[in-house]
Structure formats: structure tokens, C-alpha cells
Amino acid sequence: MESHQSEAGRGAATTRSLLRCGIVAGPFYLALGLIQALLREGFDLARHPLSILANGPGGWVQTANFVLTGLMVLAAAVGFRRVLGPKSRGVTWFLGGFGLAMIVAAVCPADPVDGFPPGTPAGFPTSISTRGLIHFVAGALGFTFLAISCFFAAWAMRRRKLTALAWLSLLSGLAVVLGFFGGFAVPIGTLGIWFAVVVGWAWLSVMSHRLGRLA
């Protein structure tokens, strides 16, 4: 009996450690991105998405940011699976897809754009490289996967009668979709993407924290 309890305790500790990655992932990504944005010459938060920081001298920092954050999301997805069980696999599979999309986006960085890095012509380019196209597709898929994970989480939380988390997940999923894809439909610059990014990371942090308490 003691051996079984000890094993269960270690399992719960492992699960909580995995979920801590979900708590930290968003703040880590945003903090490291914003520090670079303030220090890198020519970068304008009002015009440039954080992803193009992977270009130019020092671009490796943002590439590492994508990879490390993607790995933390994958770890969180495993933690979600351990708490929610196989009936909620949709949450974990799509959250894992979001993490994988971040790693693909790191391997294939976005093209330079609109004056960044310095020396890049102003405005948007008339063509896109293969790696830039892959980055764009990975980003679109990543945000789609994140939103779908939120929707599956809303259903899973509703089944568990965790109404507040169900509403949080549903509204977060809608915000991610409207923020990311609406930003391309309405001329609001990078504001839509920023909205989707902040809401998505906040959702992951809150859910990881709450699931850690259930582990």
C-alpha cells in the first residue's frame, strides 16, 4: 500500500511539473520577445510581429524562444492528458499541435518585412520565400490548433461541472480565432495578433495552474 501511494505521489509530482511548463510558457515567450523588441534596432511593436525578430544579428534568440516555448507547450499537453484522461484527448492533441507548430515556425523563420531588420525595404514584400510561407502556414495552423484546444477544453470542463473554466476556455478560443484571423480582415496592424497571443497564453497559464491543483 505504501509503495502504491509513493508511486501515485511521484506521478502527481511529475504531472504538476509538466503543467508548470504550461504556466511559464506564455510569460517566458512574451517577456523574452518584448526584451528583444525594445533592444533590437528598427523593431516597432506597432508594425512588426515578434516572429520577425528571428532575422538579422541576434535572431537566434527568437529562434530559441520559439523552440523552448514550443517544448514547454508539448510538456503541458502531456500534463493535460495525465489529468484529463483519454476522454479529453482532443484538448491534448491540438495543444500538442500548437507546440509542434511553434517548433516548425522556429525552423522556418518569417521573411524580413517593413524595415526590419535595418536595410529591409519599407512596406510588405511582393513575394514570399518558401521558408516564409512555411512559417506563415505554421503560425496559422498553430493558432487554429490552440483555438480548437480551447473549445475541446470548454467541453471537458463542462462535463466536470467546472463552469468558470468552461466559459474561460470557450471565450478564449473565440478570442484567439477573432484576434488572429480578424486581424487580417480588418486593417488594425498587429493588434489582432497581439490580442490572440496574449489571450491564448493567458488561457494556457490559467488552465495549467488549475489542472495542477487537480493532479
- The pLDDT tens digits for 134-171 are 999 999 999 999 999 999 999 999 999 999 999 999 99
Q: What is the pLDDT of residue 55?
A: 94
Would you place residue 3 in the very low, low, confident or very high pLDDT band (cuts 50, 70, 90)? low
Tell me the C-alpha to C-alpha distance, in Å, between residue 160 and each of 47, 146, 165, 197: 42, 21, 10, 27
Q: What is the pLDDT of residue 153?
A: 97
Q: How many CA atoms lie within 13 A of 176 on its CB side?
A: 28
- 59 within 8 A of 109, measured Cβ to Cβ: yes
Would you place residue 62 in the very low, low, confident or very high pLDDT band (cuts 50, 70, 90)? very high
* Position 175 pLDDT exceeds 70: yes
pLDDT tens readout for residues 90-131: 999 999 999 999 999 999 999 999 889 998 888 888 889 999
Q: What is the pLDDT of residue 63?
A: 97
> Nearest to residue 200, comparing CAs of 17, 13, 27, 16?
27
Mean pLDDT of all residues belonging to the chain? 91
3-state DSSP of the chain = CHHHHHHHHHHHHHHHHHHHHHHHHHHHHHHHHHHHHHHCCCCCCCCCCHHHHHCCCCHHHHHHHHHHHHHHHHHHHHHHHHHHCHHHHHHHHHHHHHHHHHHHHHHCCCCCECCECCCCCCCCCCCCCHHHHHHHHHHHHHHHHHHHHHHHHHHHHHHCCCHHHHHHHHHHHHHHHHHHHHHHHCCCCCHHHHHHHHHHHHHHHHHHHHHHHHC
Beta bridge partners of 113: 116
pLDDT tens readout for residues 176-199: 999 888 765 555 567 888 899 999
| Cell numbers found for residue 26 | 506564455
Q: What pTM, to 2 d.p., does this model score?
A: 0.91
